[in-house]
Amino acid sequence: MSTYIIYITINLIDNKKYYGVHKSSNLEKDVYLGSGYLLKLAIKKYGRENFKRENLFNYYNLKDAFNKDREIISQ
């Protein structure tokens, strides 16, 4: 069963944070960091090893995941 996660990816060098929603069928092996334009530029600049992803919330439907994502971003 797939899970929708709300995650934060943190740049370990400058402490910038990137939030997002991601669908995964295997959270233990999932190495996804995000796909945003600014995040991709930062990964290219600092290297993938300087980023970590933390899963904040898990949902089993996309609507609930997006609602929580909007709530986090608005805060």
| Residues 65, 4 contacting (CB under 8 angstroms) | yes
Rounded to the nearest 10°, the torsion over CA 31, 36, 37, 40 is -10
Is the entire prediction scored with pTM above 0.85? yes
Helices (H) and strands (E) in the chain, counts: 2, 3
Q: What's residue 71's pLDDT? A: 93
Residue 61's domain spans which residues? 3-74
Looking at the structure of the chain, the number of domains it has is 1
Residue 65 tokens, joined: 């995941």
Model confidence over 22-32: pLDDT tens digits?
Answer: 999 998 899 99
Model confidence over 39-74: pLDDT tens digits?
Answer: 999 999 999 999 999 999 999 999 999 999 999 988
Report d(CA 36, CA 58) in Å as an integer. 20
Could you tell me which of 8, 5, 9 has the C-alpha nearest to residue 65? 5
